[in-house]
Amino acid sequence: MSVKKEFLLLQRDLGGLITLFFMPLILIIAVTLIQDSSFRRLGNDKIPILLVDYDKGEVSKKVIENLNKSDAFRIVSEINETALTETVAKDAVFKGKYQLAIIIPKNLSSDLQLKINQNVDNIVGSLGFSEPDSTAVAPVKIEQKEVKLYFDPAVQMSFKDGVMSAIDKMISQIETKSIYAAFQDQLGEDTASFEQKSFITFKEIVPKINNKDIKPNSVQHNVPAWTLFAVFFIVIPLSINIVKEKTQGTFVRLRTNPVSNFVVIAGKTLTYLIICMIQFYMMIAVAIFIFPHLGLPSLNLDGNLFLMSIVALFSGLGAIGFGILIGSVAKTQEQSAPFGATSVIILAALGGVWVPVFAMSNLMKIVAKLSPMNWGLNAFYDVLLRSGGLLDILPEISLLSLFYIVTVTLALLYDKKKRTV
Protein backbone atom coordinates (compact mmCIF):
# COMPACT_ATOMS: atom_id res chain seq x y z
CA MET A 1 0.00 0.00 0.00
CA SER A 2 2.80 2.41 0.92
CA VAL A 3 4.67 1.61 -2.32
CA LYS A 4 1.50 2.21 -4.38
CA LYS A 5 1.04 5.58 -2.69
CA GLU A 6 4.62 6.59 -3.60
CA PHE A 7 4.10 5.68 -7.26
CA LEU A 8 0.82 7.64 -7.36
CA LEU A 9 2.66 10.68 -6.02
CA LEU A 10 5.30 10.32 -8.72
CA GLN A 11 2.66 9.98 -11.48
CA ARG A 12 1.30 13.42 -10.64
CA ASP A 13 4.51 14.96 -12.01
CA LEU A 14 5.15 13.13 -15.28
CA GLY A 15 7.48 15.88 -16.50
CA GLY A 16 9.65 15.52 -13.44
CA LEU A 17 9.61 11.73 -13.80
CA ILE A 18 10.71 11.92 -17.44
CA THR A 19 13.45 14.39 -16.50
CA LEU A 20 14.59 12.04 -13.76
CA PHE A 21 15.23 9.28 -16.30
CA PHE A 22 16.39 11.10 -19.43
CA MET A 23 18.55 13.92 -18.07
CA PRO A 24 21.12 11.43 -16.67
CA LEU A 25 21.31 9.80 -20.12
CA ILE A 26 22.01 13.16 -21.77
CA LEU A 27 24.55 13.93 -19.02
CA ILE A 28 26.50 10.71 -19.42
CA ILE A 29 26.61 11.00 -23.23
CA ALA A 30 27.73 14.65 -23.17
CA VAL A 31 30.43 14.21 -20.51
CA THR A 32 31.84 11.04 -22.09
CA LEU A 33 32.04 12.68 -25.51
CA ILE A 34 33.84 15.68 -23.99
CA GLN A 35 36.37 13.63 -22.00
CA ASP A 36 36.93 10.87 -24.55
CA SER A 37 39.89 12.64 -26.17
CA SER A 38 41.91 12.53 -22.95
CA PHE A 39 41.73 8.73 -22.86
CA ARG A 40 42.62 7.91 -26.46
CA ARG A 41 45.41 8.86 -28.82
CA LEU A 42 44.60 12.02 -30.68
CA GLY A 43 45.20 10.42 -34.11
CA ASN A 44 44.22 12.87 -36.81
CA ASP A 45 43.13 15.48 -34.27
CA LYS A 46 46.65 16.58 -33.40
CA ILE A 47 47.20 19.77 -31.44
CA PRO A 48 48.75 22.45 -33.70
CA ILE A 49 51.83 24.06 -32.14
CA LEU A 50 53.91 26.95 -33.43
CA LEU A 51 57.63 26.37 -33.91
CA VAL A 52 60.17 29.08 -34.68
CA ASP A 53 63.56 27.63 -35.68
CA TYR A 54 66.38 30.19 -35.40
CA ASP A 55 68.96 27.40 -35.13
CA LYS A 56 68.62 25.52 -38.45
CA GLY A 57 71.07 22.94 -37.09
CA GLU A 58 71.17 19.30 -36.04
CA VAL A 59 69.45 19.89 -32.69
CA SER A 60 66.47 21.71 -34.20
CA LYS A 61 66.19 19.04 -36.92
CA LYS A 62 66.00 16.35 -34.23
CA VAL A 63 63.40 18.30 -32.25
CA ILE A 64 61.25 18.80 -35.35
CA GLU A 65 61.68 15.16 -36.33
CA ASN A 66 60.58 13.92 -32.89
CA LEU A 67 57.59 16.27 -32.79
CA ASN A 68 56.50 15.11 -36.24
CA LYS A 69 56.67 11.50 -35.05
CA SER A 70 54.48 12.38 -32.08
CA ASP A 71 50.82 11.36 -32.11
CA ALA A 72 49.91 14.49 -30.17
CA PHE A 73 51.30 17.51 -32.07
CA ARG A 74 51.27 19.05 -35.54
CA ILE A 75 53.96 21.64 -36.27
CA VAL A 76 52.88 24.99 -37.70
CA SER A 77 55.80 27.01 -39.10
CA GLU A 78 53.86 29.82 -40.80
CA ILE A 79 50.63 31.79 -40.36
CA ASN A 80 48.78 33.14 -43.40
CA GLU A 81 51.66 31.96 -45.60
CA THR A 82 54.08 34.15 -43.63
CA ALA A 83 57.10 32.68 -41.85
CA LEU A 84 56.84 32.81 -38.09
CA THR A 85 58.86 35.06 -35.82
CA GLU A 86 59.00 34.92 -32.05
CA THR A 87 56.83 38.04 -31.74
CA VAL A 88 54.12 36.70 -34.06
CA ALA A 89 54.11 33.29 -32.34
CA LYS A 90 53.97 34.88 -28.88
CA ASP A 91 51.00 37.09 -29.82
CA ALA A 92 49.10 34.19 -31.42
CA VAL A 93 49.52 32.01 -28.32
CA PHE A 94 48.72 34.72 -25.79
CA LYS A 95 45.52 35.52 -27.72
CA GLY A 96 44.43 31.89 -27.44
CA LYS A 97 44.71 31.05 -31.15
CA TYR A 98 47.28 28.32 -30.37
CA GLN A 99 48.08 26.46 -27.16
CA LEU A 100 51.87 26.34 -27.49
CA ALA A 101 54.81 27.97 -29.27
CA ILE A 102 58.39 26.63 -29.19
CA ILE A 103 61.26 29.03 -29.94
CA ILE A 104 64.59 27.33 -30.72
CA PRO A 105 67.43 29.87 -30.22
CA LYS A 106 70.10 30.80 -32.77
CA ASN A 107 73.34 28.77 -32.83
CA LEU A 108 71.93 26.16 -30.44
CA SER A 109 73.47 23.22 -32.34
CA SER A 110 76.90 24.78 -32.89
CA ASP A 111 77.20 26.14 -29.34
CA LEU A 112 76.07 22.81 -27.86
CA GLN A 113 78.70 20.96 -29.89
CA LEU A 114 81.37 23.48 -28.90
CA LYS A 115 80.47 23.16 -25.21
CA ILE A 116 80.52 19.36 -25.40
CA ASN A 117 83.89 19.38 -27.16
CA GLN A 118 85.34 21.63 -24.45
CA ASN A 119 84.11 19.33 -21.69
CA VAL A 120 85.31 16.19 -23.44
CA ASP A 121 88.73 17.76 -24.08
CA ASN A 122 89.05 18.59 -20.39
CA ILE A 123 88.07 15.05 -19.33
CA VAL A 124 90.33 13.33 -21.87
CA GLY A 125 93.22 15.64 -20.93
CA SER A 126 92.78 15.01 -17.20
CA LEU A 127 92.91 11.25 -17.83
CA GLY A 128 96.19 11.60 -19.74
CA PHE A 129 94.87 10.46 -23.12
CA SER A 130 96.09 13.63 -24.85
CA GLU A 131 99.30 15.66 -24.77
CA PRO A 132 99.05 19.19 -23.35
CA ASP A 133 99.15 21.87 -26.05
CA SER A 134 101.22 24.90 -25.03
CA THR A 135 99.84 26.92 -27.96
CA ALA A 136 96.21 26.30 -27.05
CA VAL A 137 94.13 29.37 -26.38
CA ALA A 138 91.77 29.73 -23.46
CA PRO A 139 88.37 28.16 -24.11
CA VAL A 140 85.61 30.49 -25.24
CA LYS A 141 82.91 31.03 -22.63
CA ILE A 142 79.60 29.78 -24.00
CA GLU A 143 76.37 31.20 -22.62
CA GLN A 144 73.60 28.83 -21.61
CA LYS A 145 70.90 28.43 -24.25
CA GLU A 146 67.16 28.65 -23.60
CA VAL A 147 64.45 26.94 -25.61
CA LYS A 148 61.50 29.25 -24.97
CA LEU A 149 58.00 27.82 -24.49
CA TYR A 150 54.96 30.10 -24.77
CA PHE A 151 51.72 28.63 -23.44
CA ASP A 152 48.16 29.85 -23.82
CA PRO A 153 47.34 31.22 -20.33
CA ALA A 154 44.10 29.19 -20.37
CA VAL A 155 45.72 25.74 -20.71
CA GLN A 156 45.85 23.46 -17.69
CA MET A 157 48.99 23.02 -15.63
CA SER A 158 49.03 19.28 -16.40
CA PHE A 159 49.37 20.07 -20.12
CA LYS A 160 52.26 22.44 -19.42
CA ASP A 161 54.06 19.93 -17.21
CA GLY A 162 53.63 17.15 -19.76
CA VAL A 163 54.98 19.24 -22.65
CA MET A 164 57.93 20.59 -20.66
CA SER A 165 58.84 17.10 -19.45
CA ALA A 166 58.69 15.67 -22.99
CA ILE A 167 60.84 18.45 -24.48
CA ASP A 168 63.35 18.27 -21.61
CA LYS A 169 63.68 14.51 -22.19
CA MET A 170 64.09 15.07 -25.93
CA ILE A 171 66.88 17.65 -25.48
CA SER A 172 68.64 15.46 -22.89
CA GLN A 173 68.72 12.57 -25.33
CA ILE A 174 70.21 14.81 -28.03
CA GLU A 175 72.87 16.07 -25.61
CA THR A 176 73.74 12.54 -24.51
CA LYS A 177 74.18 11.31 -28.08
CA SER A 178 76.36 14.32 -28.87
CA ILE A 179 78.58 13.56 -25.87
CA TYR A 180 78.99 9.94 -26.96
CA ALA A 181 79.92 11.06 -30.46
CA ALA A 182 82.48 13.55 -29.09
CA PHE A 183 84.14 10.86 -26.95
CA GLN A 184 84.33 8.50 -29.92
CA ASP A 185 85.95 11.22 -31.98
CA GLN A 186 88.51 12.00 -29.27
CA LEU A 187 89.40 8.40 -28.50
CA GLY A 188 89.83 7.43 -32.15
CA GLU A 189 88.23 4.94 -34.51
CA ASP A 190 90.11 1.91 -33.14
CA THR A 191 88.47 2.13 -29.73
CA ALA A 192 85.24 0.35 -28.87
CA SER A 193 82.19 2.30 -29.95
CA PHE A 194 79.61 3.47 -27.44
CA GLU A 195 76.18 1.87 -27.64
CA GLN A 196 73.76 4.79 -27.69
CA LYS A 197 70.56 2.87 -26.99
CA SER A 198 68.92 3.58 -23.65
CA PHE A 199 69.87 1.00 -21.04
CA ILE A 200 66.85 1.77 -18.86
CA THR A 201 63.40 1.82 -20.46
CA PHE A 202 59.89 2.11 -19.09
CA LYS A 203 57.02 -0.26 -19.79
CA GLU A 204 53.50 0.08 -18.45
CA ILE A 205 52.17 -3.20 -17.06
CA VAL A 206 48.37 -3.29 -17.19
CA PRO A 207 45.96 -5.85 -15.66
CA LYS A 208 44.94 -8.79 -17.84
CA ILE A 209 41.77 -10.84 -18.22
CA ASN A 210 42.00 -13.98 -20.37
CA ASN A 211 45.50 -12.86 -21.47
CA LYS A 212 44.07 -9.58 -22.82
CA ASP A 213 45.29 -6.20 -21.59
CA ILE A 214 42.68 -4.13 -19.79
CA LYS A 215 43.24 -0.57 -20.93
CA PRO A 216 40.96 2.02 -19.31
CA ASN A 217 39.04 4.36 -21.59
CA SER A 218 36.69 7.30 -21.20
CA VAL A 219 33.61 5.06 -20.99
CA GLN A 220 34.94 2.90 -18.16
CA HIS A 221 35.78 6.01 -16.15
CA ASN A 222 32.76 8.16 -16.93
CA VAL A 223 29.91 5.65 -16.84
CA PRO A 224 30.44 4.62 -13.17
CA ALA A 225 31.11 8.20 -12.04
CA TRP A 226 28.12 9.85 -13.71
CA THR A 227 25.81 6.91 -13.08
CA LEU A 228 26.55 7.36 -9.40
CA PHE A 229 25.95 11.10 -9.76
CA ALA A 230 22.55 10.43 -11.38
CA VAL A 231 21.58 7.87 -8.74
CA PHE A 232 22.26 10.37 -5.96
CA PHE A 233 20.08 12.98 -7.65
CA ILE A 234 17.12 10.86 -6.49
CA VAL A 235 17.63 12.92 -3.32
CA ILE A 236 15.80 15.89 -4.89
CA PRO A 237 12.41 14.33 -5.87
CA LEU A 238 12.41 12.16 -2.75
CA SER A 239 12.96 15.08 -0.38
CA ILE A 240 10.40 17.21 -2.26
CA ASN A 241 7.75 14.46 -2.01
CA ILE A 242 8.35 14.10 1.74
CA VAL A 243 7.90 17.87 2.17
CA LYS A 244 4.72 17.70 0.04
CA GLU A 245 3.34 14.97 2.30
CA LYS A 246 3.96 17.16 5.34
CA THR A 247 2.48 20.35 3.83
CA GLN A 248 -0.55 18.64 2.22
CA GLY A 249 -1.44 16.58 5.28
CA THR A 250 -0.72 13.17 3.69
CA PHE A 251 1.87 12.38 6.31
CA VAL A 252 -0.56 13.21 9.12
CA ARG A 253 -3.18 10.84 7.66
CA LEU A 254 -0.50 8.15 7.45
CA ARG A 255 0.31 8.68 11.12
CA THR A 256 -3.36 8.23 12.11
CA ASN A 257 -3.47 4.84 10.36
CA PRO A 258 -2.09 1.76 12.11
CA VAL A 259 1.09 1.89 10.01
CA SER A 260 4.53 1.68 11.59
CA ASN A 261 7.45 3.93 10.68
CA PHE A 262 9.18 0.86 9.30
CA VAL A 263 6.44 0.30 6.71
CA VAL A 264 6.46 3.97 5.65
CA ILE A 265 10.26 4.08 5.29
CA ALA A 266 10.32 0.67 3.58
CA GLY A 267 7.71 1.85 1.06
CA LYS A 268 9.72 4.94 0.16
CA THR A 269 12.97 2.99 0.04
CA LEU A 270 11.60 0.26 -2.23
CA THR A 271 9.90 2.71 -4.60
CA TYR A 272 12.90 4.94 -5.10
CA LEU A 273 15.29 2.00 -5.16
CA ILE A 274 13.38 0.66 -8.17
CA ILE A 275 13.78 4.05 -9.85
CA CYS A 276 17.53 4.07 -9.07
CA MET A 277 17.99 0.62 -10.59
CA ILE A 278 16.00 1.58 -13.70
CA GLN A 279 18.28 4.62 -14.06
CA PHE A 280 21.33 2.40 -13.65
CA TYR A 281 20.28 -0.16 -16.27
CA MET A 282 19.25 2.56 -18.72
CA MET A 283 22.67 4.20 -18.46
CA ILE A 284 24.44 0.85 -18.81
CA ALA A 285 22.34 0.09 -21.90
CA VAL A 286 23.21 3.47 -23.44
CA ALA A 287 26.93 2.86 -22.76
CA ILE A 288 26.79 -0.57 -24.41
CA PHE A 289 24.49 0.00 -27.39
CA ILE A 290 24.41 3.77 -28.12
CA PHE A 291 28.01 4.83 -27.47
CA PRO A 292 29.52 2.89 -30.44
CA HIS A 293 27.20 4.83 -32.80
CA LEU A 294 28.64 8.09 -31.38
CA GLY A 295 32.25 7.08 -32.04
CA LEU A 296 32.84 6.09 -28.41
CA PRO A 297 34.10 2.75 -27.06
CA SER A 298 31.38 0.37 -25.92
CA LEU A 299 31.21 -0.38 -22.19
CA ASN A 300 32.76 -3.81 -21.62
CA LEU A 301 31.36 -5.34 -18.43
CA ASP A 302 33.27 -8.66 -18.74
CA GLY A 303 30.56 -10.50 -16.82
CA ASN A 304 30.54 -7.95 -13.98
CA LEU A 305 26.92 -6.79 -14.37
CA PHE A 306 25.84 -8.59 -11.20
CA LEU A 307 28.52 -6.95 -9.05
CA MET A 308 27.88 -3.58 -10.69
CA SER A 309 24.19 -3.99 -9.86
CA ILE A 310 25.04 -4.69 -6.21
CA VAL A 311 27.10 -1.49 -6.06
CA ALA A 312 24.28 0.48 -7.72
CA LEU A 313 21.76 -1.00 -5.28
CA PHE A 314 23.70 0.00 -2.18
CA SER A 315 24.57 3.40 -3.67
CA GLY A 316 20.86 3.91 -4.22
CA LEU A 317 20.25 3.02 -0.58
CA GLY A 318 22.74 5.65 0.53
CA ALA A 319 21.12 8.26 -1.70
CA ILE A 320 17.61 7.39 -0.47
CA GLY A 321 18.66 7.62 3.17
CA PHE A 322 20.15 11.06 2.52
CA GLY A 323 16.98 12.16 0.70
CA ILE A 324 14.77 11.00 3.57
CA LEU A 325 16.90 12.97 6.04
CA ILE A 326 16.73 16.16 3.94
CA GLY A 327 12.97 15.78 3.42
CA SER A 328 12.42 15.30 7.15
CA VAL A 329 14.44 18.36 8.16
CA ALA A 330 13.31 20.75 5.39
CA LYS A 331 10.13 22.73 6.01
CA THR A 332 9.39 23.76 2.43
CA GLN A 333 10.14 22.58 -1.11
CA GLU A 334 12.14 25.77 -1.60
CA GLN A 335 14.47 24.51 1.13
CA SER A 336 14.70 20.85 0.13
CA ALA A 337 15.27 21.23 -3.65
CA PRO A 338 18.26 23.64 -3.68
CA PHE A 339 19.82 22.10 -0.58
CA GLY A 340 19.48 18.61 -2.05
CA ALA A 341 20.98 19.64 -5.40
CA THR A 342 23.84 21.59 -3.81
CA SER A 343 24.70 18.85 -1.33
CA VAL A 344 24.81 16.21 -4.10
CA ILE A 345 27.16 18.39 -6.14
CA ILE A 346 29.40 18.89 -3.08
CA LEU A 347 29.44 15.15 -2.34
CA ALA A 348 30.31 14.48 -6.01
CA ALA A 349 33.15 17.00 -5.95
CA LEU A 350 34.52 15.57 -2.71
CA GLY A 351 33.97 11.98 -3.82
CA GLY A 352 36.19 12.13 -6.91
CA VAL A 353 33.50 12.32 -9.61
CA TRP A 354 34.91 15.58 -10.99
CA VAL A 355 38.47 15.72 -9.66
CA PRO A 356 40.47 12.53 -8.92
CA VAL A 357 41.04 12.08 -5.21
CA PHE A 358 44.79 11.46 -5.74
CA ALA A 359 45.08 15.00 -7.15
CA MET A 360 43.62 16.56 -3.98
CA SER A 361 45.55 17.93 -1.01
CA ASN A 362 46.20 15.67 1.98
CA LEU A 363 43.41 17.34 3.96
CA MET A 364 40.89 16.96 1.13
CA LYS A 365 41.87 13.31 0.67
CA ILE A 366 40.79 12.70 4.25
CA VAL A 367 37.54 14.62 3.70
CA ALA A 368 36.90 12.68 0.46
CA LYS A 369 36.83 9.42 2.40
CA LEU A 370 33.74 10.71 4.23
CA SER A 371 31.71 11.10 1.03
CA PRO A 372 29.30 8.23 0.24
CA MET A 373 29.86 8.95 -3.45
CA ASN A 374 33.54 8.18 -2.94
CA TRP A 375 32.60 4.79 -1.48
CA GLY A 376 30.31 4.02 -4.39
CA LEU A 377 32.81 5.22 -6.99
CA ASN A 378 35.63 3.14 -5.51
CA ALA A 379 33.37 0.09 -5.51
CA PHE A 380 32.46 0.65 -9.18
CA TYR A 381 36.15 1.04 -10.10
CA ASP A 382 37.08 -2.06 -8.07
CA VAL A 383 34.68 -4.10 -10.17
CA LEU A 384 35.12 -2.51 -13.60
CA LEU A 385 38.79 -1.47 -13.66
CA ARG A 386 40.54 -3.47 -10.94
CA SER A 387 38.87 -6.88 -11.58
CA GLY A 388 37.66 -6.99 -7.98
CA GLY A 389 35.17 -9.45 -6.52
CA LEU A 390 32.48 -9.32 -3.88
CA LEU A 391 34.99 -9.33 -1.00
CA ASP A 392 36.79 -6.34 -2.55
CA ILE A 393 33.64 -4.19 -2.60
CA LEU A 394 32.34 -5.40 0.78
CA PRO A 395 33.89 -2.48 2.76
CA GLU A 396 32.31 0.13 0.45
CA ILE A 397 28.82 -1.41 0.33
CA SER A 398 28.96 -1.87 4.11
CA LEU A 399 29.68 1.85 4.53
CA LEU A 400 26.81 2.73 2.17
CA SER A 401 24.46 0.47 4.18
CA LEU A 402 25.61 2.09 7.41
CA PHE A 403 25.10 5.54 5.86
CA TYR A 404 21.51 4.59 4.97
CA ILE A 405 20.81 3.31 8.50
CA VAL A 406 22.34 6.38 10.16
CA THR A 407 20.52 8.93 7.95
CA VAL A 408 17.14 7.18 8.29
CA THR A 409 17.61 6.89 12.07
CA LEU A 410 18.45 10.61 12.30
CA ALA A 411 15.37 11.43 10.20
CA LEU A 412 13.10 9.36 12.48
CA LEU A 413 14.61 10.88 15.64
CA TYR A 414 14.16 14.39 14.25
CA ASP A 415 10.55 13.67 13.30
CA LYS A 416 9.83 12.17 16.73
CA LYS A 417 11.37 15.15 18.51
CA LYS A 418 9.42 17.58 16.34
CA ARG A 419 6.09 15.84 17.10
CA THR A 420 6.73 15.90 20.84
CA VAL A 421 7.39 19.64 20.89
What type of residue sits at position 23?
Answer: M
What type of residue sits at position 332?
Answer: T
**Which of the residue ranges 230-239, 250-259, 320-329 would you say has the lowest mean pLDDT?**
250-259
Q: What does the radius of gyration of the chain's CA atoms come to, in whole angstroms?
A: 31
pLDDT band at 113 (very low <50, low <70, confident <90, very high): confident
Per-residue confidence (pLDDT) for residue 42, from 0 to 100 = 43
Domains located in the chain, CATH noted: 2-39+216-420 (no CATH), 47-208 (3.40.1710)
Q: What is the pTM of this model?
A: 0.67
Does position 286 have pLDDT exceeding 70, yes or no? yes
To the nearest 10 degrees (0 to 180), the angle between helices 261-285 and 390-420 is 140
Between the CA of residue 413 and those of 113, 336, 419, what are the distances in Å? 79, 18, 10
Between 35 and 26, residue with greater pLDDT: 26
Can you tell me the distance from the alpha carbon of 180 to that of 120, in angstroms, rounded to the nearest whole number?
10
pLDDT digits (tens, 9 = 90+) for 357-399: 776 778 888 888 899 999 999 999 888 877 788 998 999 999 9
With 0-12 CB in 10 A as exposed, 13-18 as middle and 19+ as buried, what is 332?
exposed
pLDDT band at 74 (very low <50, low <70, confident <90, very high): confident
